[in-house]
Each structure stands twice: as structure tokens, then as C-alpha cells.
Amino acid sequence: MNYYIVTKEVFNTLNKENITFMRKSMNDAHRLIVTTDTVSERIRKFQNINTCSNYTFTNHSDWTGSGDGIDVDDLETNTYISEVDD
């Protein structure tokens, strides 16, 4: 799996069938994604699931707004459903 932060515009061009997780940033400008695809137009790439999760805890105000980050379990088990994305 690959772990990225991409812009909203780049996200809209990606194959949603290959995305297993997506979280919108608090300002709706970026998307944190887990995908099987390689994305060259990205803001940030994470080496693994742990560094991705750790980043969200350090930068929680960008991703959760609650003082917490996104747990590894959430990245692994939450399923992205494109039909409910607006």
C-alpha cells in the first residue's frame, strides 16, 4: 500500500477503486489516502502506515480537529466508499 497526502484536485483524478482509505483535511483542501496506485503529483508520501499515522497525531489540527490523530487500525480497517463522498 501507498500512503499520501494529495490535493483535492489530484484526488478527483485518481482511480477510486484502488483507494482503501481517504480522509479530508479540516479545510477540505487536501486528502490523506491509502491506495495501491503510485501517485506522482502529491504533497507528501509516507514510508509506511506508522509514519502516516504518526504524522496525523503531530498535525491533528489539520486532520481530526480533536487533538487526536488517525490510528493505524483506522487506516487499515476503514473502507473508503466513493459513493458517499461529496
Q: What is the pLDDT of residues 14-67, one digit of tens each?
A: 999 999 999 999 999 999 999 999 999 999 999 999 999 999 999 999 988 888
Whole-model pTM above 0.95? no
Domain total in the chain: 1
Whether 42 maps to a domain, the answer reads yes
Whether 7 maps to a domain, the answer reads yes
Separation between Cα atoms, residue 54 and residue 39, nearest integer Å: 21
Which residues are bridge partners to 34 per DSSP? 3, 21
Question: Does 86 have pLDDT greater than 70?
Answer: no
Cβ neighbors of 75 (< 8 A, separation 6 or more) are 3, 21, 34, 49, 52, 53
At 83 the pLDDT is 62
Question: Strand 19-24 to strand 2-7: parallel, antiparallel, or no bridges (unpaired)?
Answer: unpaired
Element (H, E) at 44: strand 44-46
At 67 the pLDDT is 83
84 pLDDT band, cuts 50/70/90, is: low
Whether 67 maps to a domain, the answer reads yes
Whether 10 maps to a domain, the answer reads yes
Whether 86 maps to a domain, the answer reads no
Whether 65 maps to a domain, the answer reads yes
Give residue 58's domain range.
Answer: 2-81
